[in-house]
């Protein structure tokens, strides 16, 4: 997952949603100090999910089995990582 640079923003602990597919999946870039629950909570504040709640998952594992393991290092910032979330 890659994204362009974004401005410094400490809103939501610095978490930024950089991709979202009709409330079913989204990708977040967040500081490495943010845990899964914090990332999921930030996603809920940015965009309501289509179903229930956002849940961070490792997209390389079943049932998704797509691409590299997540969370994964950010392509631009050493102190950030990318999360893949789905709404269940």
Would you call 80 helix, strand, or coil by DSSP?
strand
Give the least confident one: 1-10, 21-30, 42-51, 55-64.
1-10
What six digits make up the tokens of 78? 């050493």
Q: Are 83 and 73 in contact (CB under 8 A)?
A: no
Q: Does the pLDDT of residue 14 top 90, yes or no? A: no
On whether the CB atoms of residues 8 and 23 are closer than 8 A, the answer is: no
For the chain, the structural domain boundaries read: 13-87
Specify which residues 26 forms β-bridges with.
20, 85
This prediction has a pTM of: 0.81
pLDDT digits (tens, 9 = 90+) for 46-66: 888 888 899 999 999 998 898
* pLDDT > 90? residue 10: no
Q: What is the mean pLDDT of the chain?
A: 83
């Amino acid at each position: 997952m890659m994204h362009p640079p974004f401005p410094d923003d400490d809103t939501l602990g610095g978490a930024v949603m950089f991709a979202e597919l009709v409330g079913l999946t989204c990708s977040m870039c967040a500081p490495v100090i943010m845990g899964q629950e914090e990332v999921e909570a930030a996603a809920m504040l940015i965009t309501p999910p289509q179903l229930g709640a956002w849940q961070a998952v490792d997209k390389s594992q079943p049932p998704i089995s797509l691409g590299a393991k997540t969370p994964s290092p950010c392509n631009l910032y050493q102190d950030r990582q990318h999360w893949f979330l789905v709404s269940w």
